[in-house]
Amino acid sequence: MARLLLDPGSLARQLRLNRLESALLLTGLSGLAGLVGLLVAGFEGLISAALAALLLLIVFPAPGGALFRHALGGIPLPEAAAPALHALARQLAARAGLGPPELYLLPMRELQAMAAGDAERPAIALTQGLLAALPPREVAAVIAHELAHVRHGDLQVMRLAAAAASLTRAMSMLGLISLALLLPAGIFAAPAPPWALLLLLLAPTLGDLLSLSLSRRREYLADAGAVELTGDPAGLAQALARLERLQGDDWERLAARGGPRWLRLFRTHPTIRERIARLAETVVVAPAPPPEAWRIAIAAPPRRFPHRLAQRWWL
């Protein structure tokens, strides 16, 4: 019976393409911030602003597990409560070259997962709704996706993109305010060229669109990275399809009601269909059954988590 197997060559090509697209978008975003800064503040002002932004990124590192605890009410998940889940996460992290991940449980009904931290101390948060809805194979794919974000430095990349977009917005606002203050001077003020005014007006929106596009490309990269870790593209595709079936997609519902297609430019994630289509490019049809890389032969954990949370997870 024919089965779907991972095609390493296709996966490698997709990883290269996703990295190239991300690099071009980040370059464009940085270039836009530099152009607006140069126009408004000159070379010295641009360098000062860039150094200030870089200093903020260095002084305030990417948030780790504390983000889940303080911002989302996450509960650190002890290994005794879910040894199989911890073993799975450690195995996937080891394959990715990361340190043992901290696991957090978010007491939410929504089906979500998110990553924080860095390569030495990654942190993964999973909601109760996600763990209740997905079988172990698909949970493995989701965890691999989040670990791929950490492995690829997506948290740092998106912080850099956000800094560039914020710098563009601030410089554009400063430039427009300066022009408004000069208007009463009339003929004594040199008129700004039309292209400069147009750039100041459009740059913030363009910066946001580039940042959102970069976010979507990093999701494709994380999907490919998850497949690289698990060797199981079908598991991730099934998880995505289940998430769409159970939770839906507000953007897609809007499109189904006749919403304009250009609204997709404001998505942080690609559509589920687009992600599954990309995953389909990493498989080939073969007669042999695929190795179930996600399965770990260990004893089942206790059926209930502590903290009186009626949530179960098993392998």
For 195-204, the pLDDT digits (tens) are 888 888 899 9
Query: How many domains does one find in the chain?
Result: 1
The mean per-residue pLDDT over the stretch 269-294 comes to 75
Q: Which of 216, 240, 236 is nearest to 283 (CA)?
A: 236
Do 33 and 211 contact (CB within 8 A), yes or no? no
Residue 36 domain flag: yes
pLDDT 10s digits, 182-226: 665 554 455 667 788 888 889 999 999 999 999 999 999 899 999
Asked whether residue 292 is domain-assigned, the answer is no
SS3 242: helix
What pTM value is reported for the model? 0.80
Active site residues: 146
Q: What is the pLDDT of residue 56?
A: 63
Q: What is the mean pLDDT of the chain?
A: 80
The answer to whether residue 229 sits within a structural domain is yes
Q: Is residue 306 part of a domain?
A: no
Answer yes or no: is 52 within a domain.
Answer: yes
Mean pLDDT of 77-86: 91
Return the pLDDT at 255.
55
Domain-located, residue 291: no
Q: Distances from the Cα of 262 to the Cαs of 209, 255, 256, 259, in angstroms?
A: 11, 10, 13, 9
Range of the domain at 71: 3-286
The answer as to whether 302 is a domain residue is no
Distances (CA, A) of 78 to 68, 116, 144, 212, 256: 15, 18, 20, 35, 43
The residue-averaged pLDDT of 296-307 equals 40
The strands making up 113-117's β-sheet, listed across from edge to edge, are 75-76, 102-106, 122-127, 113-117
Residue 279 located in a structural domain:
yes
